[in-house]
Homo-oligomer: A and B are copies of this chain.
């Protein structure tokens, strides 16, 4: 009889956003007149910018004629896009990344989930707490979680708490993990790490032989001078870090799917025989075998982001969301909330009022103000008592929501 991957049975059945959706649905049905403002799931709301729309139409036309039709493309993405990523996102900013170190995919969620394929299941993982649940859940699926403890932690994973006490900045690990996930600007807290802090992490990884999985999905929101947008701005990072990037929040590609992962050629891990093996060809092999490239149409859309029009239009959209975040931050503080994030990030992380738990605060906000956010406890035990709001709504709704909270 064939057998399943038992690790799947270890995972609690409810997934954060499903539970949020279920509660909203139940509330809407019992309160049909409530005008609910959603500031929960981190999805964008602004349409794709005109430069991208034009490029998408042109790519659709390409697919309509023999001479310009594109079938299977390179699994790691088209050169026309990889070359622009390497130039604009890296070399123009003084960062040394080659086109053959860039792997274009259907999104950072797939890549952060699939990267474990090329790594031994024996590696010990460290994550911040709170954390994007995909890092934890995918490692549990692969057998790196151990068992779920009563406090909500997994036995084999080291958690690096980010709380008010440490200013939401994780300390270096106490044990010796093999792989460390960091996401900056952070999801869910909206905090950033400066150059000194990131340098400390890169040095720690170099000294201890750790792999740093750096999720930079929100780098486009960084506006504060001196805050790195890429881990490769830090000396030595090419030897220890994989970076995940996304067009989702940068340019509103959540629905048309595109991201990329950078695996530098210097990056090596140990095999069972004690040899150092380059990760770049392993990831290439994984992608050529288990992936067939991202949509040609979407890749052409992304290419347009690197034109002057695309650059200014996509920046305008990010600025709009940052404008929302500023409205929220100001209003929340006036309303007496303690919060972080929201300056170089679309996320604001606030302390639930009156000592409420995250889910109590969720129900409270929904019932009293008709505002939906995401319970902090869904991102890990250290998120209990906290709450995530996102800046991805319209300016009008954002202002309306904040007015409700202040009233």
Contact = CB atoms under 8 A, between A and B. Distances in A.
Contact of A72 (B41, B123, B138): B41
B71 A255 contact: yes
A48 interface: yes
A364 interface: no
A296 B255 contact: yes
Contact of A110 (B6, B281, B290): B290
A44 interface: yes
A335 interface: no
Q: How many copies does the complex hold?
A: 2
Contact of A257 (B123, B137, B271, B292): B292
A56 B269 CA distance: 43
Contacts of A64: 47-48, 50, 53
Contacts of A56: 60, 63, 297
Interface stretch (A24-32, A112-120, A340-348, A353-361): A112-120
Contact of A71 (B109, B252, B290): B252
Contact of A290 (B50, B113, B255): B113
A163 interface: no
A61 B138 CA distance: 35
A62 to B, nearest CB: 9
A8 B285 contact: yes
Contact of A134 (B15, B69, B121, B289): B289
Interface in A1-60: 1-6, 8-9, 11, 13, 15, 18, 41, 43-48, 50, 53, 56-57, 60
Contact of A271 (B6, B107, B210): B6
A43 B57 contact: no
B270 A3 contact: yes
A3 B178 contact: yes
Interface string A246-281: 000000101111000000000001111000010101
Query: Which of the four size classes fits the interface of chain A?
Result: 35 or more
A83 interface: no
A363 interface: no
Interface string A115-156: 001111111000000000010011001000000000000000
Given A56-B60, A65-B47, A255-B73, A292 B107 contact: yes
Nearest to A176: B1
A4 B179 contact: no
Given A141-B117, A285-B8, A290 B47 contact: no
Interface of A: 1-6, 8-9, 11, 13, 15, 18, 41, 43-48, 50, 53, 56-57, 60-61, 63-66, 69-73, 106-107, 109-110, 113-114, 117-123, 134, 137-138, 141, 178-179, 209-211, 252, 254-257, 269-272, 277, 279, 281-282, 285-286, 288-298, 394
6 contacts: A2-B269, A3-B122, A48-B64, A50-B64, A137-B289, A255-B295
Given A11-B285, A46-B69, A47-B64, 10 more contacts: A6-B272, A8-B282, A45-B66, A47-B66, A53-B60, A53-B63, A69-B255, A71-B254, A110-B291, A138-B290
